[in-house]
Amino acid sequence: MKSFGKKPWLLPQPVLIIGTYDREGKPNAMNAAWAGTWDDDTIMISMGTHYTTRNLNEKGEFTVAFATVDTLVASDFVGIVSMKNDTDKIKKTGWTVVSAEHVNAPVFKEFPMTMECRVKEKLNTSATGFYLVAEVVNIFCDEAYLAEDGKPDMTRMNLISFDPIHNRYIRMGDAVGKAFADGRRLK
């Protein structure tokens, strides 16, 4: 086996679009990949110092959408362009913006599934950022992406994952097994 030293290669990494409003109520979005589940109704996102960081400090509410193959170009764009440098950033994405139902944050309708979130706490705040711990207030999903059981079906969403090894996006694949069930064959 080849050794690569210390790397944050936790795979797969989600491609999340964080939606906030700025001081003037203008919608903003940024791309984030270093995130995960914290608890039953809580997520964690590693945040650097961004225009979005200021919005989160002021508003405390945001949305998280899951990037797809169809939203890839605009999703990458909002990750490399700051609204402080381009105030027409969201207009350039072509996304349709509506207000979230349960939090004061924008929803971008082109994404199949979005979480509405509230900041619970910030951990390890430093000059380079912090860990954002947030309560998931609500999740909504476009009905075109629901499975027969009425729940979101991520195999239909064409979700993408960030590959930090080669700096690329990978399409998520098909279901290959049943969690908490397939392993029972070895009992």
pLDDT at 22: 93
Mean pLDDT of 27-35: 93
- Give the list of residues 6+ apart from residue 167 with CB closer than 8 angstroms, or none: none
Q: What is the mean pLDDT of residues 155-180?
A: 94
pTM: 0.93
Check residue 176 and give its pLDDT: 92
Arithmetic mean of pLDDT over the chain: 94
Average pLDDT over residues 125-153: 93
Token pair for residue 39? 């608890």
Q: Please tell me the distance from the alpha carbon of residue 51 to that of residue 22, in angstroms, as a whole number.
A: 8
pLDDT band at 136 (very low <50, low <70, confident <90, very high): very high
Mean pLDDT, residues 124-147 taken together: 92
7 Ramachandran zone, left/alpha/beta (phi>0; psi -120 to 50)? beta
**Residue 99 pLDDT level (bands cut at 50, 70, 90):** very high
Q: Is the pLDDT of residue 1 over 90?
A: yes
φ, ψ (nearest 5 deg) of residue 144 = -65, -15
Say yes or no to pLDDT of 180 above 90: yes
Does residue 109 carry a pLDDT above 90? yes
